[in-house]
Amino acid sequence: MFLHPSGGIIDDSIITNISEENPKFYFVTNGETRNKVALHIRGEVDKWNDEASEDVFHEVKSKNGLLALQGPLAADILHMLEPTDINTGHHFELEKLLFGQCAWMRIALVGRVLISRGGYTGEDGFEISVPPGRTDSSNRTLGLTKLLLDTAGKDKLRLAGLGARDSLRLEAGMCLYGHDIDDTTTPVEASLSWVIAKDRRDDGHFYGSDTILQQLKKKSEGGGVSRRRVGLIIEDKASAREGAHIVDEKGEKIGVVTSGGPSPTLGKNIAMGYVKDGMHKSGTELGVVVRKKTRKAVVTKMPFVQPKYWKGS
Integer Cα distance of 310 and 298 in angstroms: 31
**What CATH number matches the domain at 65-153, 3.40.50.800, 3.30.470.10, 3.30.1360.120, 3.40.50.300?**
3.30.1360.120
Higher pLDDT, 268 or 87: 268
pLDDT digits (tens, 9 = 90+) for 255-265: 999 999 999 99
Q: Answer yes or no: is pLDDT of 137 > 90.
A: no
pLDDT digits (tens, 9 = 90+) for 21-53: 788 898 888 888 999 999 999 999 999 999 987
Integer Cα distance of 127 and 116 in angstroms: 5
Integer Cα distance of 288 and 301 in angstroms: 17
Sign for the CA dihedral angle at 304, 309, 312, 313 comes to positive
User: What rounded mean pLDDT belongs to the chain?
Assistant: 93
Q: Look at residue 75 in the predicted model and tell me its pLDDT.
A: 97
Q: Tell me 118's DSSP state.
A: -
Q: Look at residue 175 in the predicted model and tell me its pLDDT.
A: 97
pLDDT digits (tens, 9 = 90+) for 87-109: 899 999 999 999 999 999 999 98
Closest to 135 in 3D by CA, of 112, 168, 105, 162: 112
Q: Answer yes or no: is pLDDT of 11 > 60.
A: yes
Alpha helices in the chain (DSSP H): 34-51, 74-80, 137-152, 162-171, 198-203, 209-216
Question: Mean of the pLDDT values across residues 103-131?
Answer: 94
Q: Look at residue 17 in the predicted model and tell me its pLDDT.
A: 86
The partner residues of 227 in beta bridges, in order of sequence, read 276
Q: Look at residue 5 in the predicted model and tell me its pLDDT.
A: 95
Domain extents in the chain? 65-153, 226-304
| CATH number for the domain whose boundaries are 226-304 | 2.40.30.110
pLDDT digits (tens, 9 = 90+) for 153-211: 999 999 998 889 999 999 999 999 999 999 999 999 999 999 999 999 999 989 999 99
Q: Look at residue 138 in the predicted model and tell me its pLDDT.
A: 66
Q: Look at residue 22 in the predicted model and tell me its pLDDT.
A: 82
